[in-house]
Amino acid sequence: MSEKRKRKPTSIETSLTSSKKPTKTPKPTPPSKPSSTPISSSNNTSNGPLPKNWPPSFPYLTAPSYSHQLTPSQLSALKVPDPSLPEIRSTHTPGPATHVQITPITDPKHPAYGQCGLFATQHLPPGSLILPYLGEYHPGTNPSPSNPIPSPDGYDYSQSDYDLWLSRDADIAVDAARLGNEARYVNDYRGVPYPPPPPPLPGQKLPKQIKGKPNAEFKVAWDVKRQERVMSVWVLPAGKKGLFRGVRKGEEVLVSYGRGFWEGRRGKEEEE
């Protein structure tokens, strides 16, 4: 995927957290709680039920939110169809997911121990959509003379651990640091203990598994119902030899944040 995330792990809203972000090299920041100041975006938060283990005071989205910093041309760019993008069908139901669940990490060996991850509650087939990555759509670069609108609450997107590129050409990113959905709890695969595969059924061979690798990925997709570009999380395809079997029930959904993400973190740690 060419448009990845810009992000870094932090400790967010209470003890329930995770981290992420690919393509722009992130600038790690100390752990912090979500801002209590107003978010400069349209209100698309849900008034309905919340996912299990979702922090009650944290805004839950069932549709994207849009920063007031976005220009009319950027908003129009989101609506330009791209046949090369995978489609999120109109039958997709927004709201709390039933096939994945936010779960506290209790294994001390896990890099996100004491925080949370996203786990499958049923088998997720190779190449299938897990869910959209919802957050606040905003300009991907800092304000400039051509885009002089400062964030009303002084929020700095470049410091977010939950920011992903949506369109580099249109300079649009999506940030889930202050509001989002279950996808914000997807962790990076690095250092995560690999669970042993289940015993084979009588007469069957033990399936080969890909150890120490991600089982999902970020993808820019086309939302058919909204007629709009959206970031999303998908199960990795089966691969050339068909060895990858998807995400098993009870298994954590894991992606790669990208090399730039971790290099950015290392650089910040060395400075400190």
3-state secondary structure 215-265: CEEEEEEEECCCCEEEEEEEECCCCCCCCCCCECCCCECEECCCHHHHHHH
Name the band, by pLDDT with cuts 50, 70 and 90, for residue 119. Answer: very high
pLDDT of residue 157: 86
Name the band, by pLDDT with cuts 50, 70 and 90, for residue 89. Answer: very high
Say whether pLDDT at 117 is over 50: yes
Name the band, by pLDDT with cuts 50, 70 and 90, for residue 10. Answer: very low
Task: With beta carbons less than 8 A apart as the criterion, state whether 105 and 53 touch.
Answer: no
The average pLDDT across 141-162 equals 72
The average pLDDT across 42-71 equals 88
pLDDT of residue 159: 83
pLDDT of residue 244: 75
Task: Show Cβ contacts of residue 196 under 8 Å, excluding neighbours closer than 6 positions.
Answer: none
Using alpha carbons, select from 13, 8, 6 the residue that is nearest to residue 29: 8
The average pLDDT across 134-158 equals 75
Residue type (1 letter), 172: I
Phi and psi (nearest 5°) for 15? -95, 0
Using alpha carbons, select from 217, 178, 177, 171 the residue that is nearest to residue 78: 171
The average pLDDT across 196-200 equals 69
pLDDT of residue 12: 34
The average pLDDT across 236-258 equals 85
For the chain, the average pLDDT equals 79
pLDDT of residue 148: 54
Task: Show Cβ contacts of residue 68 under 8 Å, excluding neighbours closer than 6 positions.
Answer: 40, 41, 149, 152
Higher pLDDT, 188 or 150: 188
Which has the minimum average pLDDT: 131-140, 147-156, 207-216, 240-249? 147-156
Name the band, by pLDDT with cuts 50, 70 and 90, for residue 147. Answer: low
pLDDT of residue 103: 97
Name the band, by pLDDT with cuts 50, 70 and 90, for residue 262. Answer: very low
Task: With beta carbons less than 8 A apart as the criterion, state whether 234 and 247 touch.
Answer: no
From the centroid of its chain, how far is CA 155? 20
Which has the minimum average pLDDT: 32-46, 61-75, 80-94, 198-212? 32-46
**What's the CA gap between 61 and 178, in Å, rounded?**
11
Task: Show Cβ contacts of residue 92 under 8 Å, excluding neighbours closer than 6 positions.
Answer: 129, 132, 223, 225
Using alpha carbons, select from 37, 63, 59 the residue that is nearest to residue 50: 59
